[in-house]
Amino acid sequence: MSTPQSLARQTTLMLAGAFIVIEVLVVALFVFFVLLPLGRRSADDLAGLMVLSAQTWAELPPETRPAFEEELLASHALALRPASPLAGVDEWHPIYFYVLEEALAKRTGGAQHLVREKVGNATWYWSNVPTGSGQLAVGLAETRIESQPFTALLIGLVGGLFFVVALAYGLARRITRPLARLEAASALVGQGETPLLLPETGPRELATLSRRFNAMVRQVSELLTARTTLLAGVSHDLRTPLARMRLALEIMKTDPAPALIERMEHDIGQMNQLIGNVLDLARGLEHEETVRVDLAEFLNELAEDFSTPDCEIVVNCPASQFVLARSALHRAIGNLLQNAIRYAPAATVELTCTVTDRQCRIGILDRGPGIPADQIETMFQPFHRLDASRSPVTGGSGLGLAIVRELARANGWEIILSARAGGGLEAWIVLPVSTS
């Protein structure tokens, strides 16, 4: 099986072929519609001058003919001599002289043939022209026809060919160089490494491709970082209850107290909750089919499920229906409500919704301690908590906001955290109308 050609070579050959065809077509049009008409007109004028010179010489008095011959040679590079059989070799000569033969034939009414003759260092072409009293040989110097159009065209074609190939190669390299960088960077991504970001310059399509690839590289890097953090956090948070359970088992060998069994059951519950949160984070990347939901009824059900005797959840939502991922939205709002109840257990939590032509905003508003503005973004990282002690008494596992962020990314939502006027935190889930 033959090896496929590179894109640069294919593009170079295609561009060079197209340019060569265009160049040949232009040259052919120029020759047939410009050069040949001009050559025929010039040859006809020259043939007329040759016939007129011979006829004029024949009509002049003998004593004035030498002066006429000198003037004719000096001004028009034409020479006259008595006619004689022209037995020259019928060899090739420039194309213009063939056109001149046709013009002479039309002027004289008989076939004409130009015979080349070497006179000193110069080359002359002779033809017998009829006059009133007979024939006269008229010759013209080859130097009189100084133009070399076909030589110029040949040089132009050869030079244009090299220029076209160089230009096509340059264009192909310009097109394929970003693709080669993209190929190399993709190979690094496949090996688990993080390549340098590609320059987002050049033609619009290539710049867009580089921009999308750079965004993918950032996402892959974030996913790898999140995976490492997730595994480290899970191993860290599981180690503590496992150590307590091991200690309890050692103690139970000699003193099987009910309190130790209760403590082990509590640790198992914590471990199960942590594993459930990790699974929720993983499920955030899964695609979920959308269904039509009555938003006001949906939020009231959430408020009823998460309300506690000490913390009331107040719903403010107009009657409206949207098509959305119900389970994903339920998990996202549920995590935010749990955070609000945990950090503001004795205050009312507002679950509000505003609908416009462009978007639907669902807000969870609490009166807790809030989050410093410079730490809002880091709070979305897995296992990141404001409480450095990581005690389950003062906070959860640190996966709640990370799960919400992943759910939002998977469904095209936007999560906004900001300080609430009068104290507390505002958490908004923004659903574009296009996804509703």
172 lies in a domain? no
My answer on whether 262 and 305 are in the same domain is no
My answer on whether 304 and 431 are in the same domain is yes
User: Which phi-psi region, left, alpha or beta, contains residue 398 (left: φ > 0; alpha: ψ -120 to 50)?
Assistant: left
My answer on whether 265 and 315 are in the same domain is no
My answer on whether 319 and 423 are in the same domain is yes
Q: Which of 380, 411, 376 is nearest to 222 (CA)?
A: 380
My answer on whether 295 and 252 are in the same domain is no
Amino acid at 177: R
Taking 70 as the threshold, does the pLDDT of residue 190 lie above it? yes
How many Å apart are CA 413 and CA 435, to the nearest integer?
8
pLDDT on residue 435: 46
Q: Are 137 and 81 in contact (CB under 8 A)?
A: yes
Taking 60 as the threshold, does the pLDDT of residue 161 lie above it? yes
User: Which phi-psi region, left, alpha or beta, contains residue 145 (left: φ > 0; alpha: ψ -120 to 50)?
Assistant: beta
More confident residue, 294 or 389: 294
Taking 50 as the threshold, does the pLDDT of residue 390 lie above it? no
406 lies in a domain? yes
Residue 137 pairs in a beta bridge with 81, 128
CATH number reported for the structural domain that contains residue 386 in this entry: 3.30.565.10
| DSSP three-state, residue 324 | strand
| DSSP three-state, residue 80 | strand
Taking 50 as the threshold, does the pLDDT of residue 428 lie above it? yes
Work out the mean pLDDT of the chain and round it to a whole number.
Answer: 79
Angle (deg, nearest 10), helices 258-283 and 400-411: 20
User: Which phi-psi region, left, alpha or beta, contains residue 422 (left: φ > 0; alpha: ψ -120 to 50)?
Assistant: left
Q: Are 214 and 49 in contact (CB under 8 A)?
A: no
* pTM over 0.75, yes/no: no
2 lies in a domain? no
My answer on whether 262 and 301 are in the same domain is no
pLDDT on residue 436: 44
96 lies in a domain? yes
173 lies in a domain? no
Handedness of CA 15, 20, 23, 24 (dihedral sign): negative
pLDDT on residue 434: 54
Domain boundary among 151, 166, 185: 151
pLDDT digits (tens, 9 = 90+) for 281-310: 555 555 668 888 888 899 999 888 888 877
385: its two tokens: 């908590």
My answer on whether 141 and 101 are in the same domain is yes
| Residue 430 binned pLDDT confidence (cut-offs 50, 70, 90) | very high
Q: Are 355 and 318 in contact (CB under 8 A)?
A: yes
pLDDT on residue 2: 56
Share of residues in the chain with pLDDT > 70 (%): 84
pLDDT digits (tens, 9 = 90+) for 120-159: 788 888 888 888 778 888 988 887 876 676 677 778 778 8
Q: What domain range is 262 assigned to?
A: 197-283
Taking 60 as the threshold, does the pLDDT of residue 393 lie above it? no
| Residue 384 binned pLDDT confidence (cut-offs 50, 70, 90) | low
The mean pLDDT value for 73-82 works out to 87
CATH number reported for the structural domain that contains residue 74 in this entry: 3.30.450.300
My answer on whether 212 and 311 are in the same domain is no
Range of lowest pLDDT (13-27, 95-109, 173-187, 379-393)? 379-393
How many Å apart are CA 429 and CA 416, to the nearest integer?
7
Handedness of CA 265, 268, 269, 270 (dihedral sign): positive
pLDDT digits (tens, 9 = 90+) for 197-243: 888 887 788 788 888 888 888 877 776 766 666 566 566 667 767 77
Q: How many domains does the chain have?
A: 3
pLDDT on residue 91: 67
Taking 70 as the threshold, does the pLDDT of residue 402 lie above it? yes
Domain boundary among 283, 310, 342: 283
CB atoms within 10 A of CB 385: 18
Domain boundary among 97, 130, 151: 151
How many Å apart are CA 350 and CA 345, to the nearest integer?
13
Sheet strand arrangement including 78-82: 78-82, 134-141, 122-131, 115-119
The mean pLDDT value for 305-329 works out to 85
Taking 80 as the threshold, does the pLDDT of residue 175 lie above it? no
